[in-house]
Amino acid sequence: MEKTDKIRLQKYLAQIGVASRRVAEQLIKEGQVTVNGQPITDMGVRIDPQKDEIEVEGRIIKPQRKRFYVMLNKPKGVITSTADPQKRTIVTDFIRGIEARLYPVGRLDYHSEGLLLLTNDGEFAQQLMHPRFKLPKEYLVKVKGVPSKKAINLLRNGIRLEDGKTQPCWVMVAGDTGKNTWLSITLTEGRNRQIRRMCQAVKYPVMKIKRVRYGNLNLGELAPGEFRPLTAQEVKGLLDFAKEG
């Protein structure tokens, strides 16, 4: 059998830090990736990194040797994306002074805020987002009203949503005003708008969501809109935490 050094296009884009594999696949589906000038939409295409010229969104892509890992305190009303057709503020607008194309690891919805990781290391992002690792993510959630013990237990044990029952999670009451309540909710899965849908299902709609922990990382005193690089120890600890989880 003839030896080949070809690699799937989406895997290559993730390996060299263009995007996570999931985002790379989306770019391919949208026709944003070309190989030797030809738009590619087929997920099965393999390329030779030594011979083929790859462009993403009109820019020639070359491997980035240096890897960057940063933590951003995403403000409310910001898109978790690297581009927005409506020209709204996106998370990468806050990242300055880093000469690399960074992209978010996972998502925080438009109305949510808090800890968000960005990187140009596709394999790192892929590992953290893989469902089997069940990396815990903690949120402070303000809900309307004062949830009953029954509602809290339902949230803890799993809520049946339109896309299936949620996994058990950690839920604690962090405080209340008599009219509204702050909950601490820790998830190990990441469905779209999951916390909002869970709380709505038990009749206590969400008023505010802030992610305060991701694996072994805490948001700390980082102000909204500010970011900081992760230390080498934090990156290693995050990967170790994911594997142990």
172, 134 contact by CB (below 8 A): no
The pTM assigned to this predicted structure is 0.76
Positions in the chain whose pLDDT score sits under 70: 1-4, 63-65, 244-245
Give me the percent of the chain exceeding a pLDDT of 70.
96
Contacts of 245 (CB under 8 A, 6+ apart): 133, 134, 135, 136, 188, 215
> In the annotation, is 5 catalytic?
no
Q: What is the pLDDT of residues 21-53, one digit of tens each?
A: 888 888 999 999 999 999 999 888 999 888 889
Say how far apart CA 69 and CA 178 lie, in whole Å: 41
- Within a domain: 37: yes
Rg (CA), the chain: 20
Residues 95 and 160 in one domain: no
Is residue 151 helix, strand or coil? helix
Asked if 171 and 156 sit in the same domain, the reply is yes
Q: How far apart are the first and last CA of the chain?
A: 40
Residue closest to 127 by CA, chosen among 219, 243, 214, 215: 243
Q: What are the tens digits of pLDDT across the range 202-218?
A: 999 999 999 999 999 99
Catalytic member of 109, 121, 163, 176: 109
**pLDDT at residue 3, as a whole number:** 44
- CATH number of the domain residue 27 falls in: 3.10.290.10
Domain residue limits at 125? 69-130+227-244
- Whether residue 221 is contained in a domain is answered as no
